Structure 1
Amino acid sequence: MKFKFEDLIIWQKGMDLGENMNILARDFSKVEKYNLTAQLKRASDSIALNISEGSILQSGPEYRKFLGYSIRSIAEVVTCLHKARRRNYLKDGDFFKYYKDCFDLMNMTIAFRNKINN
């Protein structure tokens, strides 16, 4: 037995991204604990959380709203990645890998949202 949202690729990728960002944030400076580290973890976790929360709604417009929250959270993660790179907490290779993960996930989420009836 499982919930329908667990079959969604966007939920699975959102879960993976959240775990990867949690691991990545461990290497940030201790002065970032309540700033960039916390923000990155919250934003990345909210991607999958909003996908799952929205999936239980019967209304297309409401589900689209929650998918919009996930899309905004992906954009927030990208901005955190840029900040981490500028502050030298993140190497270029890691930045580009996670940036691509976010780019792909955002496009998939937008496409999924567009398929849901208004």
Structure 2
Amino acid sequence: MHKLEDLKIWNKAIELSKEVYLLCQNLPQDEKFGLINQLKRSAISIPSNIAEGAGRNSNREFIQFLGIANGSTYELQTQIILCEALNLLSQNQIKNVLELISEVQKMNYVFQQKLKSNI
């Protein structure tokens, strides 16, 4: 088991989730049960799956949950890009979130490789 507060990827994913919540404040209210709900769910899924994996009994299980978290980063990335394509958010508004997503994706890959080498 891993201590969450010590996991850089978990801390970065928490930061990403907070930024997504702030970004959602810029979306129209008629998207409350559409894109806003989906964006928040995808964002929350990332640190949640990292946390669940950290609490598992083996690195194999942890890697599985990191894979799920990684899938959620791609889902979130797609939704953010769609918001821009629909002119709901500007490139300037989404830039920081897309950079955070990319950073979490890279951290996830490296962390999975490290865990695999310890199996």
Which amino acid in structure 2 is aligned with residue 24 of structure 1? L
Aligned to 1:72: 71
Q: TM-score, normalised by structure 1?
A: 0.92
Q: TM-score, normalised by structure 2?
A: 0.91
- Where do residues 44-59 of structure 1 align in structure 2 (5 Å cutoff)? 44-59=43-58
Structure 1 runs of 4+ with >4 Å offset? none
CA RMSD of aligned residues (A): 1.3
Unpaired runs of at least 5, structure 2: none
* Of 14-23 and 96-105, the range deviating more from structure 2: 96-105
Aligned to 2:95: 96
Identity of aligned residues (%): 30
Cα distance in 2 for partners of 1:59, 1:107 equals 22
Deviation at 1:27, TM superposition (A): 1.6
Aligned length: 116
Deviation at 1:114, TM superposition (A): 1.2
Cα distance in 2 for partners of 1:116, 1:37 equals 34
Secondary structure of the corresponding residue to residue 116 of structure 1 = helix
Aligned to 2:111: 112
Report if the CA contact (8 A) 2:21-2:40 is conserved.
yes
Aligned to 1:34: 33
Cα distance in 2 for partners of 1:88, 1:16 equals 25
